[in-house]
Chains A and B, each alone.
Chain A
Amino acid sequence: MSRRVLLSEIVDGLATRASIPNRFAEDFVQAFFNVIEENLVREKLVKVKGLGTFKLIDVEARESIHVSTGERILLAGHTKVSFTPDPVLRDAVNRPFADFETVVLNEATPTELMERIDEVQVPEADEAAIPEVDIVSKVASVEETVPDEGANEVVEAAPEVETTPEREVAPEVETSVPVEEVTPSEVISDEHEIVVEELPKTEKTSEDVETIVEEAHVAEEPVVEGSSVKEETVVEEQTAEEQSTEDSPVEKQATEKQPIEEPTSTVSADTASPLVSTPKHRENYYLNETQEETHMTRNILLGLLGALLCMFLGYAICFYFRPFELPTLSPAPQSQRQFVPASSSDESAIEAEDGAKPAELAEPAEVTGDKAANSDAADAASASASTEKAVVAQPATATSYPQLEGGDYQIVGVKGTEVMKPGKTLLNISLKYYQSTDFVPYICKMNGIDNPDVVPLDMELKIPELKKK
């Protein structure tokens, strides 16, 4: 086809066609192109009928940009020889494609579609389902199978040694174990049937054990060939090894779906004389999987623990700083709310304790330091009160009142009760009982009030009995 032809070949062809001596032909061909060249130089245009038109075209100098350096360069002007083939010659050359014609395309025609290659998708999962039916039917003659829900189990049987259990579509069945059972082969047939039991089980509980028996034909193997009943164990091990080595890519797939349980031998009992072999790598995988699981659970537990710790710390910090802020902030917000209608009655039991009130009142007053003048008198009073209280307070502390962390005082008992009414505020109450507004946090603490600005109406407040730490 396309090859380079030298002028000498043309000369030969001309000589045979015109039946003239070769040298004349060569002379003529040389003269032919020489005349073209001469007249081209002279007249810039030569038309040869049957060949085409040679033309000299002046190309003007132009600027261009160097591709790599980017600098502007000047391309020198030159003349080029253009050749336009004669229509006759052009058609002759184009003869192989002469049938084609220029086609007007519709505007809507997408040109991209012309070049697109259709993608062929091969569904893999569906393929395996079909051979399985055949396999089961085959095996049924030799051995009895107990497929419980095995219809959805996908097992592919290769004509060779390969056994490729594929992943299940059903989400519950996460793992499946192929267990090879080598039936003692007939010596004549040279073929060994490997029965693979699939024992898929759910992850959490291994209640339902599905079994599927798959038969794979083992290609002729010298070791297995002469197997007798005595050698069965050896054969079985070897076949297992061979399977693990030969079918390594396939087996990996299988081992990925290793179950945690050991395969039950229900099917093997049914079968005539099967040998169940569990290769070692499966056990290894079992370990790996359980390790992974424990890792997972450990991580989750650690995360939960961390979250709990964070919550606890946050709560503790909030709790720690709250009481200190309150006394400073207190006057402004406290005056607004907590209006309670008068209703409830005081408790008589607490009233009884109120007898000790005058003595105790002096104690907080002294601590606030506002009334330094009274301190001497208060000291005397508190001294007598404290001894008296000590007896009473000891059992009270035993009942463990809520204590304010970081405070100077300790809640040792219930001094009295106040029912929230309109006009009453925590500040007022604090003033009334302790002669100071600084004790609101203790009242809050005693009554479990989180936000001192919001105290519901008719709430019965227990006024704590305080003791300096």
Chain B
Amino acid sequence: MNNKEFVAALSLKENYKLRDTRMLIQHLLAELTAQFEEENSVLVPNFGSFEVKKRMERVINNPTTGQRLLVPPRLTLTFKSSAALRERTKEGGDEA
């Protein structure tokens, strides 16, 4: 499912116009991004949690060229699915 289908499905479910839905999604993501930029973790009940984690710098080897690269530290957004979501996706996965 791509973004267009997602917006359509959401607008259909909430009985919003597509344009309104896009706008609301935009606002919601702006809010989430603002939280993530402050390195806050967001808990979504029955869905999961988004968390910003710091990856330390590390040295990696390129096995083909033998180059050694120093990867700088970075902040990444991670998502951990809740137990309920895992249970449901498991069932759904079995069905599919």
Contacts and interface: CB of A to CB of B under 8 A. Distances in A.
Contact of B29 (A46, A47, A50, A96): A50
A2 B28 contact: no
A10 B31 contact: yes
B6 A93 contact: no
Contact of A5 (B1, B6, B35): B35
A32 B72 contact: no
Contacts of A1: 38-40
Report the interface size class on chain B: 35 or more
Report the interface size class on chain A: 35 or more
A97 B45 contact: no
Interface in B27-69: 27-48, 50, 52, 57, 59, 66-69
B1 A45 contact: yes
B18 interface: no
A52 B14 CA distance: 22
Interface string A54-94: 10101000000000000000000011111101000110111
A345 interface: no
A47 B6 CA distance: 7
Contacts of A9: 35
Given A31-B14, A35-B6, A94 B75 contact: yes
A3 B49 CA distance: 12
Interface stretch (A104-112, A133-141, A189-197): A104-112
A78 B90 contact: yes
Interface stretch (A11-19, A198-206, A268-276): A11-19
A113 interface: no
B42 A97 contact: no
Contact of B96 (A42, A83, A111): A42
A43 interface: yes
B87 to A, nearest CB: 10
A18 B93 contact: no
Contact of B40 (A5, A52, A90, A92): A5
A7 B59 CA distance: 37
Contacts of B81: 80-81
A89 B77 CA distance: 8
Contact of B41 (A5, A14, A46): A5
Contacts of A38: 9
Contacts of A93: 33, 36-37, 52, 75-77
**Interface residues of chain A: helix, strand, loop or mixed (majority):** mixed
Contact of A42 (B14, B25, B92): B92
A43 B27 CA distance: 26
B10 A31 contact: yes
B6 A48 contact: yes
Nearest to A97: B74
B85 A81 contact: yes
A44 B96 contact: yes
A100 B73 CA distance: 8
Given A5-B35, A105-B69, A33 B47 contact: yes
A83 B82 CA distance: 13
A47 B42 CA distance: 19
A223 interface: no
B6 A18 contact: no
A10 B31 CA distance: 7
A41 B76 contact: no
Contact of A27 (B14, B33, B59, B76): B14
B29 A2 contact: no
B23 A18 contact: yes
Contact of A44 (B26, B30, B93): B93
Interface in B3-19: 3, 5-6, 9-10, 13-14, 16
A28 B93 contact: no
A308 interface: no
B32 A51 contact: yes
Contact of A104 (B39, B69, B89): B69
A101 interface: yes
Contacts of A41: 88-89, 91-93, 96
A129 interface: no
A17 B86 CA distance: 32
A121 interface: no
A39 interface: yes
B34 A13 contact: yes
A133 B23 CA distance: 82
27 contacts: A5-B35, A10-B32, A14-B27, A17-B27, A20-B24, A27-B14, A28-B14, A31-B10, A32-B28, A33-B44, A35-B6, A36-B47, A38-B9, A40-B92, A41-B96, A43-B1, A44-B93, A47-B2, A48-B3, A56-B89, A79-B86, A81-B86, A83-B79, A85-B77, A97-B73, A105-B69, A105-B70
Interface of B: 1-3, 5-6, 9-10, 13-14, 16, 23-48, 50, 52, 57, 59, 66-79, 81, 85-86, 88-93, 96
Given A10-B42, A31-B14, A58-B93, 8 more contacts: A3-B41, A14-B24, A17-B30, A41-B91, A43-B1, A47-B1, A93-B75, A102-B70
